[in-house]
Amino acid sequence: MSQITKELGERLRALRLSAGLTQEKLAERADVHATYVGQLERGEKNATVESVCKLTRALNADPATLFAHLPGAANQPAPADEIYQLLQACTEQEQRELLQLLAAIVKFKRG
Q: What is the pLDDT of residues 53-96, one digit of tens each?
A: 999 999 998 888 888 766 655 555 667 767 777 787 788 898 89
Choice among 32-41, 65-74, 96-105 with the minimum mean pLDDT: 65-74
Q: Does the pLDDT value for residue 31 go beyond 90?
A: yes
- Separation CA 78–CA 76 (nearest Å): 6
- Chain-wide mean pLDDT for the chain? 86
Q: CB burial class (10 A; 0-12, 13-18, 19+) of residue 25?
A: middle
- Separation CA 17–CA 15 (nearest Å): 5
The residue among 93, 7, 12 whose CA lies nearest residue 59 is 12
